[in-house]
Amino acid sequence: MHSSDTDREAVFERSSGQTRLNELFRRVQRRGIGRNTVRTVVQQRDYMKRVRGNGGSRSALRNEGIVILGDYDSHRRVARQLGLPVPREGEFISARVAPAVPGAASLSWRWTADSRASRCCRGRCEHERRAHDLPVLKQASENGSMIRPTMAGP
């Protein structure tokens, strides 16, 4: 994975594997991050645990409006709906999302969760809020909670 010297230094100056991984997902957004990179950054045996929700980066960064998509079919659908690169096998994509507010600058594509639309944005979002929970694997396709890509804003 290629990143700037500044980003690498910011990631590796953190003291714990979890905080290093959180910083990686903050700084490297909208690009694939492979498992080997996660393993290198975390430097712990159960490195994949550090990505997951329930104490990992997914739950830690959700309050900053950042979602972390993996190689699950439901996450790939969300990536497509947000106009993001689709995670390949063993890969993660992080992105900052915000509510789809009419007239707000966005990257056009959006997805819904719990009947609320979100949009993908670069950097800080004007209407930043906690990110939606990602769809559960089997429920995502069965309960219709996700919509086809639509244009956000005017």
How is 95-142 classified by DSSP, letter by letter? Answer: EEEEE--TT----S-EEEETTEEEEEESSS-TT--PPPPPPPHHHHHH
The H or E element spanning position 85 is: none
Task: Report CA-CA distances (Å) from 29 to 19, 21, 111.
Answer: 16, 12, 18
% of the chain beyond a pLDDT of 70: 62
Assessment of whether the complete model's pTM goes beyond 0.85: no
Indicate if the pLDDT at residue 115 is higher than 60.
no
Topology of 5-142 in CATH? Answer: Arc Repressor Mutant, subunit A (1.10.10)
Q: What whole-number distance in Å separates Cα of residue 135 and Cα of residue 56?
A: 17
| pLDDT, tens only, 50-84 | 998 888 999 999 888 888 999 999 899 888 888 88
Q: List the domain boundaries for the chain.
A: 5-142
Question: Among 41-55, 76-90, 126-140, which stretch is predicted with the lowest mean pLDDT?
Answer: 126-140
Q: Given pLDDT bands bounded at 50, 70 and 90, which one contains residue 118?
A: low
| pLDDT, tens only, 3-29 | 889 999 999 999 999 999 999 999 999
Mapped onto helix, strand or coil, the DSSP state of residue 146 is coil
